[in-house]
Amino acid sequence: MKIPSVKGFRDVLPNEAAARRILIERARAVLESYGFGEIEIPLMERGELFARSVGSTSDIVEKEMYAFDDRDGTQIALRPEGTASVVRAYLEAGLSRAMPIARLYYLGPMFRRERPQKGRFRQFTQIGAEFLGRDDAEADAETLCLVADICEVAGLSGYRIEVNSLGDGECRPAYREALVEFGRARLADLCDDCKARLERNPLRLLDCKNEACSAVTADAPMMIDHLCEPCRTHHDRVLQLVGELGVELTHNPRMVRGLDYYCRTAFEVSAEGLGAQGAVGGGGRYDGLVAELGGPQLPGIGFAFGLERMQLAAGDDRPELNLDIFVAPMAAEAAGPAMALARRLRREGWKVEIGASDKKLKAQLKRADKVGVRYAILLGPDELESGRATVRNLGARSDHPGCFALDATAEEIGRELEGTN
RNA sequence: GUGAGCGUAGCUCAGUCGGUAGAGCCCCGGUUUGUGGUACCGGAUGUCGCGGGUUCAAGUCCCGUCGCUCACCCCA
């Protein structure tokens, strides 16, 4: 009886892993070019961290989090997102004093117990960044620019960055009331989901996919029209700066973010090829979060990309995992010299596979062809006798008996191999 | 949590009116005892998702169940 993998948890085989690594390296390079340093955060946190940051009534915390009690009774949760941990780590390391302006990025698996579907897994990978300690519009603009640059290097097809302002503690409560009032007046025309949302997360009314709801909320009040003066100024300045940078944004007054901690600038990146899960990434400003987690009144802005969704939107150009050299021992006594030779080449950085000496040469060459090598080095009784290896250039289909001495250095061998082209 | 579609070889799938399991690809071997990709020949592989029912007979019909996929919800 085979033991299957856990629902929503998947394996990444070598060629996909290579494609993921390339994507990650590109994103990493951009993040580091913006001065962000990597922070490694644990997979588990105390459950309360997410209840406090993401919001205890959010679906993520309420029904999607993997949570359990540790043996000493500590309530543990597998992290469903990264921002809370980064802020926690930042406070725990005393960085809020030592480095009040911090640019941190992280990368790794997150866990949410949702029903899997296209581009959505229970274990998924996020690449995220947090820009802490700055509340000026320039920080927002720089962050949006960074987001756009990541989309570019990732090669996302048809990506769009949508922005909105969610207001702040000054203006959002009043707006929220206005929206709830608007919704209550039209309760009968709303879908069941929206009726529930009206009480719990009224802003969500605005992005309901139900057509009837969209019609009802077409003339609903928009946050953008209810911003207080500072929020208004901030938002305008962000848009102006980003515009000057030549980064294209789509203003979406109906866009809302699911996590409690967002305020002011919020954004979402969508791309093609993702099925119903249009979002590859998202983020926003969270000026109250650091204080909420017990730190000083410090602002921050951040975002996260879903790696698996980036993969979908970036297309599936998987790199060939080609090896360089195949060493084919044709007799048991050639196995030792073959391994010694391979080791010398490997130490110089060549990717080398050795065949099994009990396999026929034909089978070994077939394998050599399959793993994509350019050169096969043949070692049989004749070669051991003469002390010189035979090289077969797979591309040129040419044989080179006695091509190089078995005790040649890797450098010399490399030259001889290239000479067969 | 809700809904729909789909489960046959490692993969993609065919399988008629219920009649005892197939193709292509992949893999292995051979044509060539030391020379790969193309070609030709041969070979291996199935609890037809699982359990029950109907029937002389079930991959096929019925019921249940599990799994996968997509969508809702939510989100990256």
Pairing relationship of beta strands A160-165 and A250-251 according to DSSP bridges: parallel
For residue A308, say whether its CB is under 7 Å from any atom of strand B.
Answer: yes
A98: Cβ contacts below 8 Å, ≥ 6 apart: none
For residue A28, say whether its CB is under 7 Å from any atom of strand B.
Answer: no
End-to-end CA distance of chain A: 51
**Do A222 and A253 contact (CB within 8 A), yes or no?**
yes
Q: List chain A domain ranges.
A: 14-171+227-313, 325-416
Q: Residue A371's pLDDT is what?
A: 86
Distances (CA, A) of A207 to A63, A212, A256, A421: 21, 12, 7, 61
CA–C1' A1–B16 (A): 35
For residue A221, say whether its CB is under 7 Å from any atom of strand B.
Answer: no
DSSP, collapsed to helix, strand or coil, labels residue A55 as helix
For residue A184, say whether its CB is under 7 Å from any atom of strand B.
Answer: no
The DSSP secondary structure of A310-339, one letter per residue, reads HHHHT---PPP---SEEEEE-SHHHHHHHH
Q: For chain A, how many helices (H) and strands (E)? A: 16, 16
For residue A2, say whether its CB is under 7 Å from any atom of strand B.
Answer: no
Name the β-bridge partners of A270: A160, A279
Q: How far is CA A342 from the centre of its chain?
A: 36
Q: Which nucleotide is nearest to A208 (CA to C1')?
A: B73
For residue A197, say whether its CB is under 7 Å from any atom of strand B.
Answer: yes
Specify the residue for token string 């060629």: A15
CA–C1' A380–B13 (A): 44
pLDDT tens, per residue, chain A with 421 residues: 577 888 999 988 888 888 899 999 999 999 999 999 999 999 999 999 999 998 888 888 888 999 999 999 999 999 999 999 999 999 999 999 999 999 999 999 999 999 999 999 999 999 999 999 999 999 999 999 999 999 999 999 889 999 999 999 899 999 999 999 998 888 888 888 888 888 778 888 888 877 788 888 888 999 999 999 999 999 999 999 999 999 999 999 988 887 778 899 999 999 988 888 789 999 999 999 999 999 999 999 999 999 999 999 987 666 667 789 999 999 999 999 999 999 999 999 999 999 989 888 999 999 998 888 999 999 999 999 999 999 999 988 899 999 999 999 999 999 999 998 8
Q: Residue A202's pLDDT is what?
A: 86
Q: What is the rounded distance in angstroms from the CA atom of residue A376 to the CA atom of residue A368?
A: 7
Name the β-bridge partners of A38: A105
Residue range A325-416 in CATH 3.20.20.70: no
Question: Which residues 64-83 on A are within 7 A of strand B at the CB atom?
Answer: 64, 81
Residues in chain A: 421
Q: Residue A318's pLDDT is what?
A: 67
Pick the CATH number of A14-171+227-313 from 3.30.930.10, 3.40.50.150, 3.40.640.10, 3.30.420.40: 3.30.930.10
**Do A301 and A291 contact (CB within 8 A), yes or no?**
no
DSSP, collapsed to helix, strand or coil, labels residue A29 as helix
Q: What is the rounded distance in angstroms from the CA atom of residue A265 to the CA atom of residue A163?
A: 7
Q: Residue A265's pLDDT is what?
A: 96
Q: Which amino acid is at A180?
A: V
Q: Which nucleotide is nearest to A119 (CA to C1')?
A: B76
Q: Which amino acid is at A158?
A: G
Question: Which residues 32-51 on A are within 7 A of strand B at the CB atom?
Answer: none
Q: Which nucleotide is nearest to A283 (CA to C1')?
A: B76
Domains A14-171+227-313 and A325-416 share a fold: no
Q: Residue A95's pLDDT is what?
A: 95
**Do A371 and A328 contact (CB within 8 A), yes or no?**
no
Q: Which amino acid is at A1?
A: M
For residue A200, say whether its CB is under 7 Å from any atom of strand B.
Answer: no
Task: State the CB neighbour count (10 A cutoff) for residue A276.
Answer: 9
**Do A296 and A96 contact (CB within 8 A), yes or no?**
yes
Residue A100 phi/psi, 5-degree rounding, is -60, -25
CA nearest to A134, candidates A143, A144, A125, A123: A143
In which order are the strands placed within the sheet that holds A75-78?
Answer: A44-46, A75-78, A67-69
CA–C1' A229–B14 (A): 68
- Return the ∠ at Cα A131 (arms to A127 and A223), rounded to 5°: 95
Q: What is the DSSP letter of A120?
A: B
Q: Residue A214's pLDDT is what?
A: 82
Distances (CA, A) of A246 to A136, A149, A167, A234: 19, 11, 25, 19
DSSP, collapsed to helix, strand or coil, labels residue A103 as strand
